[in-house]
Structure 1
Amino acid sequence: MVETKLDEGALRAAYGRFLGAVPGRILLTGHSHQAWPDVVEDALKRAFDDAARFVDDKWSQAVMPKIAATGAAILDRMGFPRTDSIAFGKSTHELAYRLLSCLPPPQAKPRVVTTDGEFHSLYRQLRRLAEEGMDVVWVPARPREGLAERILDALVPGTAMLAVSAVLFEDAHVVPRLGEILERATSMGAVCLVDAYHAFNVVPLDWGPAKDRIFVTAGGYKYAAFGEGICWLRVPAGCALRPVYTGWFADFGALAGERGGEVSYGPGGDRFAGATFDPTAFYRAEAVLQHWERFGLTPQKLRAISIRQTERIIGRFDAAGLGERVLSSRDSARRGGFVAVHTEDAASIVARLREQGILVDSRRSFLRLGPAPYLTDAEIDCGTDAVIEAIKRAK
């Protein structure tokens, strides 16, 4: 089969609303809020039209079919069978906490292995649970060299849960030997949760031999371009865990029965469901998934585009004599979808660049530049050079 070449002009034209909203603006925020393609605007109108047409029946007539189709497509893009179980929530925090609530109470000191390089939602929640007695083992995420070995060493018999990112949020470091780590943890009977937010749709992952036994969470705000309010949890087949943090969507079948007895759960991903949510996120997701398919932008193709673009950014820093500022790996296999550079003035530089129409972001002293498929090389160069100039002035 002959692979068709990406029509870059047509792809860019498909983002007319976001790219044309502020003339001259450069969106190096592909790792955070990717631009929405124009088809999303029509999708949001369909959400209103369906509500007007079906009223309360919109759930069965329109929303639930979209959720099923969206879930199958997401699983496929994550490298799982489309028929696997999946649960949705408004945030990865909601879903991670629902899974954590399946463990023995914190006072029983369940042992949870994680790293100190996790995103704030998981890091903060585990710190709070540790205050209540949970035995949280914080594996140092730095230096990045040896991280996999340190996680493996921390996985000892009696570990109740492993919760780690596939790609670290500060510098886009792709955690090596992930499959081996997950196999070690599951062989000990630990519940395995992988935060794949900074991997979904930009870094295809090898889940290894434990693939069928792991939980994976991610969301739509970043590289998926679905927007906010739609996150998910891939659930292993045969899961019988009973979340304490549960909602009425977790078992619709119980609504018609008598109250009392043990709390029951629905099949598959339903057991991790919450309660009533804003369904418009699924209209956005459906439209964007069709957009990716229309342009043939599989995760593998998006990965190739990302590698080329991040290499271009690193090359500009090298040419400007600031190569030592680059914190993201120069090995493309270990670098995710953005480039992080070091500057103590990261937050103030971000603010100044925003006034110039150059959008980047920062986490502590990590200034992050996130390209995206719809950006031209000229925009990437211009935005990167503006960051370089701002860093030089801040010296």
Structure 2
Amino acid sequence: MTARKDLFSRALSLSPGRLHFAAHSHHLWPDATFDAQVRAWTEANAFADRKWDLIFGEVIPQAQAHVAKELSLPSPDSIIFAPNTHELLLRVVSGIEGKPVRILSTDAEFHSFRRQGQRWEEAGEAVITHVPLHPFDTFETRFVEAAQSGDFDLVFISQVFFRTGQVFNRLEDLAALARPEGPWVVVDGYHGFMATPTDLSAVADRIFYISGGYKYAMSGEGVCFLHAPDGFCPRPTITGWFAEFGDLAGPPGGVGYRTDGGRFWGATFDASALYRFNAVRTVLDEAGLGTAEIAAHARSLMLTFQTAIADGRAGKLGEAGLLNPVEGEGPRARYLAFRSPKAAEWKARLMDGDVITDVRDNVIRFGFGLYQDEADVERLIAACAERL
């Protein structure tokens, strides 16, 4: 397939000379999201006091259906939305009754978990076992063995690790350990959702999956979601008033909860992000662009860039260690991650030339998407050769 710059004409026109190779960090928004934002404003004022009937009657069910289709979930009713994944993490963990909470995770999780986990430990509310991500060739075996041998309340792991782009491929082994009484398995899918085809049909009844629209769903902030398996965490302690609408269960006179994924609903939120997400999914469907097609396009561009680096055409970038090379046809991140002590300096040098990348610690990342073509990659190669 070819690039679809036409779907991003508004965003691209705002900075015509820019090379935006940070689609994994802040993805540019398609034109359809502008119209969706206007629609959200218009309907909020047209419906006024009846706005939430529209949102829960039409907007949310449409968004749930899109997520369920993307992940091959058996029912959209297992999905709820929140402004960020941190809120969702807090609600899930709040449902674990024993303290301190015994958690198995890694030393490579995103900051929403890393920081909160560290604070929980300081407060004596959690004990976290961190399995080192590296060496990665033994990581999956080490992590699964730790999960099998440990006595944990919660297992938390990324589908795709945010800093390095490396992929965890053994969700079924973790799901086999999950029980309503514990452990619960929570997967951070932020760098997997709509980045690489993801089929959760075999594990949906046993794992939690958290993700959002800021990156590959191209919808911006505020549209994060949780898939919650039936029977797991029926009564989260941190709860919002939206969770008390629907088919409720609970002790007589006590706090009632919905019996589907809606038990994790919070409270009032800005629904405009859901409009944007629905618009993106609709325009992609109309264009015949699924995640597999977009990922294949990105893979082709990454391979061009990777080959140029190996051939010495991209300056000193060839001195860096490529952490997640394009190999085979399996699931992968939509970016290339290079480790170097010069990562931050390189990012700054490229930024001075209006080439946008991003850095995590000593890793510089180049993200690829629908609004880039081979000519853009050649310009990127030339910029690296000139500036690094």
Does the 8 Å CA contact 2:188/2:209 hold for their aligned counterparts?
A: yes
Residue in structure 1 matched with residue 114 of structure 2 by the alignment? 123
Shift of 1:28: 0.5
Residue of structure 2 equivalent to 1:3: none
Residue 124 of structure 1: CA displacement? 1.1
Q: Secondary structure at the match of 1:204?
A: coil
Q: 1:323 and 1:204 mapped to 2: Cα distance?
A: 32
Query: What TM-score results when the alignment is normalised by the length of structure 1?
Result: 0.89
- CA deviation vs aligned residue, 1:152-210 (integer Å, no higher than 9, x gap): 12113532111100100011101132322332345994111000110111212354843
Please say which of residues 156-165 and 65-74 is displaced more in the overlay.
156-165
Deviations 1:351-377 (A, max 9, x none): 332232111111011100001012111
Cα shift readout 1:60-99 (whole Å, capped 9, x = no counterpart): 1245411111111112112213434101111111101110
Instruction: Describe the shift of the 1:209–1:79 C-alpha distance in structure 2 as closer, same or farther (beyond 3 A).
Output: closer
Match of 2:322 in 1: 326
Q: Identity of aligned pairs, percent?
A: 34
**Once the two structures are superposed, what CA deviation does each residue of 1:186-238 show, in whole Å capped at 9, x if it has no partner?**
59941110001101112123548433211100000001101101100001134
Which residue in the other structure is 1:211 paired with? Answer: 204
Match of 2:349?
352
Match among 362, 367, 373 for residue 376 of structure 1: 373
| Structure 1 residues 350 and 226, CA gap change in structure 2 (3 angstroms) | same
- Aligned pair in 2 of structure 1 residues 293, 208: CA closer, same or farther (>3 Å)? closer
SS in 1 for 2:257: coil
Shift in alpha-carbon separation, 1:327–1:160, aligned structure 2, 3 A: same
Contact 2:165 2:323 in 1 (8 A): no
C-alpha distance in structure 1 between counterparts of 2:265 and 2:151, whole Å = 28
**Does 1:241 pair with 2:238?**
no
With structure 2 as the length reference, what TM-score do the two structures score?
Answer: 0.91
Which residue of structure 1 lines up, in the alignment, with residue 100 of structure 2?
109
User: CA RMSD for the aligned pairs?
Assistant: 2.3
- Stretches of structure 1 that go unaligned for 5 or more consecutive residues are 1-5
Of residues 174, 186, 195, the one that matches 2:188 is 195
Match of 1:286 among 256, 259, 278: 278
Asked if residue 339 in structure 1 is aligned to residue 340 in structure 2, the reply is: no
Q: Which moved more, 1:290-299 or 1:63-72?
A: 63-72
Alignment of 1:256-271 (within 5 A): 261-271=253-263
Aligned counterpart in structure 1 of residue 68 of structure 2, from 46, 62, 75? 75
**What are the within-5 Å matches in structure 2 for residues 224-239 of structure 1?**
224-239=217-232
3-state SS of the aligned residue for 1:103?
A: coil
**CA distance in structure 2 between the aligned counterparts of 1:239 and 1:96, rounded to whole angstroms:** 14
Distance 1:73 1:101, change over 3 A: same
> How far off is 1:294 after superposition?
1.2
The CA deviation at 1:381 is: 2.3
> Retained in 1: the 8 A contact 2:71–2:200?
no
Any idea what SS the aligned residue of 1:145 has? helix
8 Å CA contact retained: 1:220, 1:226: yes
